[in-house]
Every structure is written in C-alpha cells, then in structure tokens.
Amino acid sequence: DLKGILVCILIYLIAVFGQFALPAEIRPLVGLGVLFVGLAGTIFVFLLAMKVYSTALGVLLGILTLIPCIGLIVLLVVNGKATGILRQNGIKVGLLGANLSEV
C-alpha cells in the first residue's frame, strides 16, 4: 500500500507540473490521468489509513483524496504516518518505500 501511495504522489506531481510544458490540446488528457491517479490514490489511502488509523478515519481520508490538491496533502500525510510507524519498528524506508524483505 505504501509503494502505491508513493507512486501516486510521484505521478500526481509530474502531471501537475508537466501540464505547463504541454500544449493546451493535450492538457485534458493530463487531467484524465490525474483523475485515474486520484482514484488509485483513494484506494491506497483507504487501505493504508485503515491500518495506521481507524476504519472511520480511513474512509474519511479516502474521500478527501478525491478533492484536488487536498488529495495530495492526504497522500503525503498518510505516507508520513506509515513511514513513521515503519521506522519506529526498525524498518529502513527509502525513496520508494520499505524493502519488502525486511517487513
């Protein structure tokens, strides 16, 4: 779940900043891609937030992920919480998440 969130954050940031370098005709396609990333992020946040928070908060954070810009903040918050929990348990977390062999 953590790696999925990290990939969603990366794609979201690339899409948001990349749209300024693209012609106006292609920007709706970028928006469509961001929509799909948002939906995937919602699922990953829901699954991970239920593990690190509670079920009710997992549902709330999953719904908040669907709101543009707020969704990115939610992705970052849930990622930070999960990373903190992993590090507290002595698992090394790198740029693209934890090494699965250590979990």
pLDDT of residue 57: 92
| 24 phi, psi to nearest 5 deg | -60, -30
| Model pLDDT for residues 53-96, shown as the tens digit of each residue | 999 999 999 899 888 788 888 888 988 898 888 889 888 887 76
Q: Which of 46, 51, 49, 11 is nearest to 30 (CA)?
A: 11
| Type of residue found at 100 | L
Cα Dmax for the chain: 48
What is the chain's mean pLDDT, rounded? 84
Tokens 């740029």: give the residue: 95
DSSP state of 67: S
Element (H, E) at 92: none
> What mean pLDDT comes out for the span 3-26?
84
Q: Please say if the pLDDT value at position 17 is more than 90.
A: no
Tokens 């370098």: give the residue: 21
Beta carbons within 8 Å of 27's beta carbon, 6+ residues apart? 19
**Global pTM?**
0.76
